[in-house]
Copies of this chain bind each other. A is one copy, B any other.
Amino acid sequence: MKEYKVGILGATGAVGEQMRIVLAERNFPISELRLFGSSRSAGTEIDFKGQKIKVQEASLEAFKGLDLLLGAAENDVAKQYLPDAAKMGILVVDNSSAFRLDPEVPLVIPEVNPEDVAKNKGLIANPNCATIIALAAVASLHRKARIRRMIVSTYQAVSGAGKGGIEDLMNQVHAPEGEAPAPKTFPYPIAFNLFPHIGGFNELGYSSEEMKMQNEGRKMLHDPEFMVSCTCVRVPVIRSHAEALTIEFEKEISPEEARELIAAAPGVKLCDDPNNKQYPMPLLTSDQDLVYVGRIRRDISAPKEIYNKSLCVWCCGDQVRKGAATNAIQIAEIAFGLA
């Protein structure tokens, strides 16, 4: 079996670390792993399958010979290095938002549009975490009945903002009352609090995070009329985003059909028996790769004309894994014919 030379850009961040763990777990065929970071983190030694690997400062020179480069850095770093790396013949799968809406760059969730991987010109983008979780959850329903409109409220874990988000929460939770340190990553204290503010706001009053599900969803579903309105909320949960979806379909679909489709679909797990306390939640879905889907029911607010075409769904998934690292590596597996 062919083995690949793989690099991770942004290797010491939350997503970069998770990529390394997921590569090892999935036994991705690797002949060499190179870890890249800022000059600050260069020199740090990191364990991979029992081997110590030194973090190197990122540079095109240092990328030479790679087959795959996984991007887990901020947008500016991604823009600085990744298009050039792709031009060097390296397959680049990038988790930043820098290239997601670039028409030359496929944006892929393997459960939604795996066929788009083949259209790449060296660079493939990994979608936003909340978008991956929502669309992976309902991909099988979309294939059956075509989603026209979604109203989404998110419950997003602090680790979506990286390690600094976890530090903010834990420092505040464990401080003596009235002595919580000022937030460093978030605009306000997040312990025992929550706020509808993830990213900057546009002229319509939507945050950048809230626009991603519609913008990225339209691209992946190849449907410029896919309509989404989101309220994205940061909550004091360490890991796993939860989302409440109200969905309007083009065709009729029943809760029973939806349950059957989800039970049979890849990447998701039906978890829908509320009377026996079975529903997705962060503690249940953290540190694994499936998106859990439950609370499937009719939207009882839907007007008669669309009642049989409307569903409410609740889903939850680990946004550092399926929402970022795992999805990126799944894309690489498809590109290399490993999936």
User: What is the interface of chain A, defined by CB distance below 8 A to chain B?
Assistant: 149-151, 153, 155, 173-174, 187-189, 192-197, 200-201, 204-207, 214, 227-229, 231, 233, 235-238, 242, 244, 246, 255, 274-275, 277, 279, 281-283, 295-303, 312, 314
B233 close to A298 (CB less than 8 A): no
Min CB–CB distance A251 → chain B (angstroms): 16
Known: A187-B277, A194-B281, A205-B274. 16 other contacts (CB 8 A): A149-B301, A153-B153, A155-B233, A155-B235, A173-B173, A192-B283, A193-B283, A196-B242, A201-B275, A204-B300, A205-B296, A206-B297, A227-B302, A229-B246, A229-B302, A231-B314
Q: For the complex, give the distance between the alpha carbons of A37 and B321 in Å.
A: 50
Q: For the complex, give the distance between the alpha carbons of A300 and B200 in Å.
A: 17
A201 close to B274 (CB less than 8 A): yes
Complex interface: chain B residues within 8 A of A300 (CB): 204, 206, 214, 227-229
A238 close to B192 (CB less than 8 A): yes
Closest 5 CB pairs of A and B: A153-B153, A205-B297, A229-B301, A231-B244, A227-B301
Complex interface: chain B residues within 8 A of A201 (CB): 274-275
Which one, B173, B188, B229, B303, contacts A299 given CB within 8 A? B229
Min CB–CB distance A240 → chain B (angstroms): 9
Q: Please, which residue of chain B has its CB at the minimum distance from the CB of A310?
A: B229
Q: Please, which residue of chain B has its CB at the minimum distance from the CB of A231?
A: B244
Which one, B193, B244, B295, contacts A237 given CB within 8 A? B193
Given contacts A173-B173, A205-B274, contact A314 B149 (CB under 8 A): no
B204 close to A298 (CB less than 8 A): yes
A197 close to B151 (CB less than 8 A): no
Given contacts A153-B153, A277-B197, contact A236 B192 (CB under 8 A): yes
B197 close to A303 (CB less than 8 A): no
19 A-B pairs with CB atoms under 8 Å apart are A151-B246, A151-B301, A155-B194, A174-B174, A188-B277, A192-B238, A194-B282, A195-B281, A196-B279, A196-B295, A204-B297, A204-B298, A205-B255, A205-B274, A206-B297, A206-B300, A227-B300, A231-B244, A235-B235
Min CB–CB distance A187 → chain B (angstroms): 5
Q: Please, which residue of chain B has its CB at the minimum distance from the CB of A225?
A: B303
B283 close to A189 (CB less than 8 A): yes
Complex interface: chain B residues within 8 A of A283 (CB): 188-189, 192-193
Q: For the complex, give the distance between the alpha carbons of A96 and B196 in Å.
A: 31
A195 close to B231 (CB less than 8 A): no
Q: For the complex, give the distance between the alpha carbons of A14 and B174 in Å.
A: 25
Looking at A189, A296, A301, the one whose CB has the most chain B CB atoms below 10 A away is A301
A229 close to B312 (CB less than 8 A): yes
Q: For the complex, give the distance between the alpha carbons of A279 and B274 in Å.
A: 33
Min CB–CB distance A281 → chain B (angstroms): 5
Q: For the complex, give the distance between the alpha carbons of A229 and B283 in Å.
A: 26
